[in-house]
Amino acid sequence: MMIDKLIEGIKSTGNPTAVGLDTSFDYLPDNMKKNCRTPLDAAKAITEFNLTLIDRLHKLVPAVKVQVAYYEMYGVAGMQAFADTLAAAKKSGLITIADCKRNDIGSTAACYSAAYLGKTNINGEEFSPFEADFLTVNGYLGSDGLNPFIADCEKYRKGIFALVKTSNPSSGQLQDKSMENGATLYENMAELVVECGKNLVGKYGYSSAGAVIGATHPAQAQDVRKKFPSLFFLIPGYGAQGGSADGLAVCFDNNGLGGIVNNSRGIICAYKKDKYNGQTYAQAAENAVIEMREDIFGALKRAGKAR
């Protein structure tokens, strides 16, 4: 199961961190930007930036999350950078999470899934256009919108993270509303993901059909962890969005497993912080990763969940 590989990566690195390669051209050092004039130039610079970080960090973290929106805005060249980043991360041994939040039903959902998790067939030859180990999906269309992705997870031993309780401040406007059965919308969503992913549970008791649970909402995260123990969490919101290590400790089980924490700007833009003044972006990113690992480990230890 893909979830077992992710957990083993977390255990081997001692670090439940995913580096978010949500790489805007604006995040690059000035010397990498100065000669860029076109989307192709920008995409090449972004690729160079990402590959340098992958080379520097691949032994310190188990996974990267690559947010497609940061690549789509540079057009075709940007999508090539997206593909090249995923391929380089996979080659380095990292677990790859394509953060695309795809959603639709039936054959359209199957097409989305083929692009990132499955295969595209052309006259008998199969291709993986943007191959990733996990894909973020929006399951709020119901099981019709999840099952095509689940089918490819079962066939190709991949995984998904479905939106359950997102990190944005206004998520409660809908996700915290109670439904007719008395449970909140996010609780019903979590239950649906568990049901759809019941055949994807691995040896550690977690399913390859996981949930996106924001670090900025610890009470709701604690609720989901307690009620749905087989859900593995992808945890955004740490750092720039306001989520703290102590707040997100509730996402983890008593063995310190059950989640992976994403950090994007806090790592890839670390070189801009005063504390890392004079360091290259790769050096600063490495130090930020180490600092984050210690921050999370310290929080888990205080919560009695340290491994």
Q: Which residues are catalytic?
A: 101
What is the radius of gyration, based on Cα positions, of the chain?
19
Start-end of H helices in the chain: 2-13, 30-33, 39-57, 69-72, 75-91, 106-116, 143-156, 172-175, 185-196, 218-227, 245-248, 265-268, 281-302
Cβ atoms of 263 and 17 within 8 Å: the answer is yes
Report the alpha-carbon distance of residue 199 to residue 181 in Å, rounded: 25
Q: Is the dihedral of CA 141, 197, 296, 11 positive or negative?
A: negative
Alpha carbon 175 to chain centroid, angstroms: 20
Plot region of 204 (φ>0 → left; ψ -120 to 50 → alpha; else → beta):
alpha
Report the alpha-carbon distance of residue 251 to residue 254 in Å, rounded: 10
DSSP-derived letter for residue 264 is: S
Q: Helices 143-156 and 185-196: crossing angle, nearest 10°?
A: 40
* Tokens 């067939």 belong to residue: 121
Torsion angle of alpha carbons 129, 130, 135, 139, nearest 10°? -50
